[in-house]
C-alpha cells in the first residue's frame, strides 16, 4: 500500500473481502485521513516537527451510525503507537479537569496548560470520538486547549454528529466559544460523512425483526430479553431479593448468576439515586432492562435517573441489555437536560455492542454467549 493512500487502500481491501460495504458517503473523510496519515508519519519521523504546519487534523461529522468512529479506528490502528491516544470526548475532558484540579492543589499558575502537558506527554496524535460541546465550562477552554495542541504539533481527529458551525448552538456565552469554531475552520480539514446506511442497525432476522445492536433489541421484545437472561444465568436458580438503602427499597424480582432482569419502570420509576444504583452493582454484574420508553419533555426526572443508572453501570463495567421501541437517540429528545442525555446515548451504543464484553468485570459471560 502506498503511503499517500494507505487508508483508502486498506478500506478497498476490506470492501473486497466483504468486511465492509463500499460507501460513497465516506469518501471525503477517507481521503482526508489519507492526507493526515502522511503528515503524522512525517511528524513521527521528525522530518517536519519544526516546520510551519497549517493542518492540525481532521474533523469528521455526520448522522449517527454512518461509520465515523469505524473510519477513525482504521486510521488509529494503522498508526497505533505509544504516541497515539484514542479516547471518548467525555472521558478526555474528565481527565483534563482532574489534572487542572491537581495543578491548583500545587498552586500552578496555569492549570489548563499543566493539564494539557500531563495528558498529552509524548503524544503526537489524538483521536477523540463523539465530540460534542454541551457544558459551558468545556466551551470556555476549548479554544485555548486546541491552540496548545496546534502549537505543540499534536494532530487531532475528531468525530461528531454536529458540524463545527452548529457546535454549542444557543449555549450560554456562546460568543466566547466562537474562536474555537474559527480555529477548527482555519486549521482542520472538515469532512461530512453524507447520509446513507445506518450501520448500527443489524440486518433483519428470520422472524423479520431488526436487532438494533447486539444487546439492544428494537422493537422491544420480551422473548429476546428472556432468552438472554436464561443464557446468562447458566442454569442456576432464579431468586428474588431486595436492596435497602437510606430507607429506600429496590426490589429485584429476577436475579440469577448475578444477572438482574428489570423493567424500565422498576429501576427508573421510583426516586432512586446514584447510591442506590451503586448498591445494585454490588448485586449484579449484568443488568437487563426491558421496555425503555420514549420520554416526553415532562419526563425530565425519569430521564435523569436513567442517565444516572447508565453512568453508574458504565463506570462499574457492568453488562447491559436494553429493549425499546425507539433508537437510543430518540429516547429523550425534548425537555430540560436533553443535550446532556447525548452522553447516555453514546454510552448505550458502546455498552450494547459485543465489544463491551471485553470491558465488563465478569469475563464468564463472554464464554456463555459464545462471543
pLDDT in tens, 127-181: 999 898 878 889 999 999 999 999 999 999 999 989 999 999 888 899 999 999 9
- Using an 8 Å Cβ cutoff, are 303 and 332 in contact? yes
Q: Which of 86, 74, 1 is nearest to 33 (CA)?
A: 74
Per-residue cell: 354: 459485543
Residue, of 46 and 270, whose pLDDT is higher: 270
* pLDDT of 48 over the 50 cut: no
* pLDDT of 45 over the 90 cut: no
Longest dimension (CA), the chain: 67
* CA pair distance 224, 29, nearest whole angstrom: 37
Strand order in the sheet with 125-129: 84-88, 125-129, 155-160, 57-62, 188-193
CA 147 to chain centre: 24
**12-28: average pLDDT:** 90
pLDDT tier, 49 (very low <50, low <70, confident <90, very high otherwise): very low
pLDDT tier, 47 (very low <50, low <70, confident <90, very high otherwise): very low
Q: What is the pLDDT of residue 203?
A: 64
* CA pair distance 135, 94, nearest whole angstrom: 12
* pLDDT of 184 over the 90 cut: yes
The CATH-assigned architecture of domain 3-193 is 3-Layer(aba) Sandwich (3.40)
Q: What is the pLDDT of residue 88?
A: 85
* CA pair distance 90, 87, nearest whole angstrom: 8
* Percentage of the chain exceeding pLDDT 70: 92
pLDDT tier, 210 (very low <50, low <70, confident <90, very high otherwise): low
pLDDT tier, 1 (very low <50, low <70, confident <90, very high otherwise): very low
Q: What is the pLDDT of residue 208?
A: 55
* CA pair distance 334, 296, nearest whole angstrom: 6
For 232-260, give one letter per residue: b (16+ CB within 10 A) or e: bbeeeeeeeeebeeeeeebebebbbbbbb
**31-60: average pLDDT:** 75
Q: What is the pTM of this model?
A: 0.72
User: For residue 189, how many other CB atoms are within 10 A of its CB?
Assistant: 19
Residue, of 230 and 80, whose pLDDT is higher: 230
pLDDT tier, 206 (very low <50, low <70, confident <90, very high otherwise): low
Per-residue cell: 185: 475552520
* pLDDT of 60 over the 50 cut: yes
**347-355: average pLDDT:** 89
**329-349: average pLDDT:** 85
Domain definitions of the chain by residue range: 3-193, 216-368
- The C-alpha cell 466551551 sits at 139
Amino acid at each position: 500500500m502506498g503511503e499517500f493512500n494507505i487508508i483508502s487502500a486498506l478500506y478497498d481491501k476490506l470492501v473486497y473481502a466483504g468486511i465492509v460495504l463500499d460507501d460513497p458517503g465516506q469518501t471525503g473523510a477517507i481521503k482526508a485521513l489519507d492526507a493526515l496519515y502522511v503528515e503524522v508519519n512525517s511528524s513521527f519521523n521528525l522530518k517536519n516537527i519544526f516546520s510551519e504546519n497549517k493542518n492540525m487534523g481532521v474533523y469528521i461529522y455526520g448522522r449517527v451510525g454512518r461509520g465515523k468512529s469505524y473510519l477513525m479506528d482504521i486510521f488509529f490502528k494503522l498508526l497505533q503507537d505509544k504516541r497515539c491516544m484514542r479516547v471518548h470526548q467525555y472521558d478526555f475532558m474528565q481527565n483534563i479537569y482532574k489534572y487542572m484540579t491537581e495543578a491548583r492543589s500545587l498552586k500552578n499558575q496555569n492549570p489548563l496548560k499543566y493539564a494539557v502537558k500531563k495528558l498529552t506527554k509524548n503524544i503526537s496524535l489524538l483521536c477523540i470520538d463523539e465530540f460534542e460541546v454541551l457544558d459551558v465550562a468545556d466551551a470556555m477552554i476549548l479554544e485555548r486547549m486546541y491552540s496548545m495542541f496546534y502549537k505543540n504539533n499534536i494532530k487531532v481527529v475528531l468525530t461528531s454528529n454536529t458540524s463545527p458551525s452548529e457546535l454549542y448552538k444557543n449555549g450560554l456565552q456562546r460568543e466566547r466559544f466562537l474562536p474555537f469554531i474559527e480555529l477548527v475552520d482555519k486549521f482542520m480539514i472538515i469532512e461530512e460523512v453524507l447520509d446513507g446506511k445506518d450501520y448500527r442497525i443489524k440486518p433483519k432476522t428470520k422472524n423479520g425483526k431488526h436487532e438494533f445492536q447486539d444487546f439492544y433489541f428494537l422493537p422491544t421484545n420480551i422473548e429476546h430479553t428472556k432468552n438472554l437472561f436464561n443464557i446468562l444465568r447458566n442454569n442456576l436458580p432464579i431468586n428474588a431479593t431486595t436492596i435497602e438503602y437510606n430507607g429506600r427499597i429496590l426490589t429485584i424480582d429476577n436475579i440469577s448468576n448475578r444477572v438482574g432482569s428489570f423493567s424500565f419502570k422498576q429501576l427508573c420509576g421510583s426516586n432512586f439515586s446514584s447510591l442506590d444504583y451503586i448498591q445494585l452493582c454490588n448485586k449484579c454484574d449484568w443488568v437487563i432492562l426491558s421496555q425503555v420508553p420514549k420520554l416526553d419533555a415532562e419526563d425530565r426526572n425519569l430521564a435523569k435517573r436513567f442517565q444516572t443508572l447508565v453512568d453508574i453501570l458504565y463506570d462499574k463495567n457492568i453488562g447491559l441489555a436494553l429493549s425499546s421501541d425507539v433508537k437510543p437517540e430518540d429516547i429523550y429528545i425534548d425537555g430540560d437536560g436533553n443535550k446532556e442525555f447525548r452522553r447516555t446515548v453514546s454510552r448505550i451504543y458502546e455498552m450494547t455492542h459485543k465489544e463491551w464484553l471485553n470491558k465488563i468485570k465478569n469475563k464468564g459471560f463472554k464464554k456463555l454467549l459464545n462471543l
